[in-house]
């Protein structure tokens, strides 16, 4: 397993549409292992392959609470089959939009079909945090970031600040 660099906004790669996986093989499993390690290292609860520059429809998540046993989840080619009209609101962040958080409304419940780590077909009824997290990650597969749901003004401000952060020289502590 290896920790990969997480791509941050603004970057065109994040706007790419990810492609379906034909078969879950050793290469895909290795990618999922790397994604999980990268996500844990960054203290995230979800990561899409495109965030480490791989345009494949693969997501890893772990929404277990700190102190609880790890509960990694793997979603390959996820599809939302059904969702409710009722929404829930969470303050969302994203490993590709570091240090910014904003409230986003999303359907409170959704039914997802996907392939698991072994390539087996699975169905999941997601609610609450799980539903929000999977929808956030599935947006990444379409090149959508949570800041796209904010007002144009707010989004522009965030992207501007992120660009400035990027242009800073490397910080060294000696």
User: Which phi-psi region, left, alpha or beta, contains residue 43 (left: φ > 0; alpha: ψ -120 to 50)?
Assistant: left
Under the criterion CB under 5 A, does residue 134 sit at the interface with Ni ion?
no
Identify which of residues 5 and 23 has a Cβ nearer to Ni ion in the complex: 5
| Number of residue whose CB is nearest Ni ion | 94
Identify which of residues 40 and 119 has a Cβ nearer to Ni ion in the complex: 40
Q: Is the peptide bond before 19 cis (omega within 30 degrees of 0)?
A: no
Identify which of residues 7 and 119 has a Cβ nearer to Ni ion in the complex: 7
* Binding flags for Ni ion, 67-96, as an x/- string (CB under 5 A): ---------------------------x--
Task: Give the number of other CB atoms < 10 A from CB of residue 158.
Answer: 19
* Binding flags for Ni ion, 91-130, as an x/- string (CB under 5 A): ---x------------------------------------
CB of 86 to Ni ion, least distance (A): 23
* Residues taking part in catalysis: 137
Identify which of residues 13 and 119 has a Cβ nearer to Ni ion in the complex: 13
Under the criterion CB under 5 A, does residue 131 sit at the interface with Ni ion?
no
Query: What six digits make up the tokens of 81?
Result: 């089959």
CB of 23 to Ni ion, least distance (A): 26
Under the criterion CB under 5 A, does residue 162 sit at the interface with Ni ion?
no
User: How does 9-46 read in b/e, with b if 16+ C-beta sit within 10 Å?
Assistant: beeeebeeebeebeebeeebeebbbbbbbbbbeeebbb
Strand intervals (E) in 46-96: 46-48, 58-61, 73-83, 87-94
Under the criterion CB under 5 A, does residue 60 sit at the interface with Ni ion?
no
Per DSSP, what are the bridge partners of residue 61?
46, 73
Task: Give the number of other CB atoms < 10 A from CB of residue 169.
Answer: 5
What is the contact surface with Ni ion in residues (CB under 5 A)? Answer: 94
């Amino acid at each position: 397993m290896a920790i990969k660099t997480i791509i941050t906004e603004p970057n065109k790669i994040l706007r790419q549409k990810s492609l379906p996986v034909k078969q879950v093989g050793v290469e895909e499993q290795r990618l999922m292992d790397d994604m999980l390690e990268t996500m844990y290292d960054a203290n995230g609860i979800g990561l899409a392959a495109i965030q480490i520059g791989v345009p494949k429809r693969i997501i890893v998540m772990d929404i277990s609470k700190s102190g609880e046993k790890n509960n990694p989840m793997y979603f390959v080619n996820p599809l939302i089959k059904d969702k409710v009209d009722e929404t829930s609101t969470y303050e969302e962040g994203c490993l590709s939009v570091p240090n910014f958080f904003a409230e986003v409304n999303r359907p409170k419940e959704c039914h997802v079909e996907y392939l698991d780590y072994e390539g087996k077909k699975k169905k999941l009824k997601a609610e609450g945090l799980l539903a929000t997290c999977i929808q956030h990650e599935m947006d990444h597969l379409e090149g959508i970031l949570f800041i796209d749901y904010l007002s144009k003004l707010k989004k522009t401000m965030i992207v501007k600040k992120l660009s400035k952060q990027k242009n800073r020289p490397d910080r060294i502590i000696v």
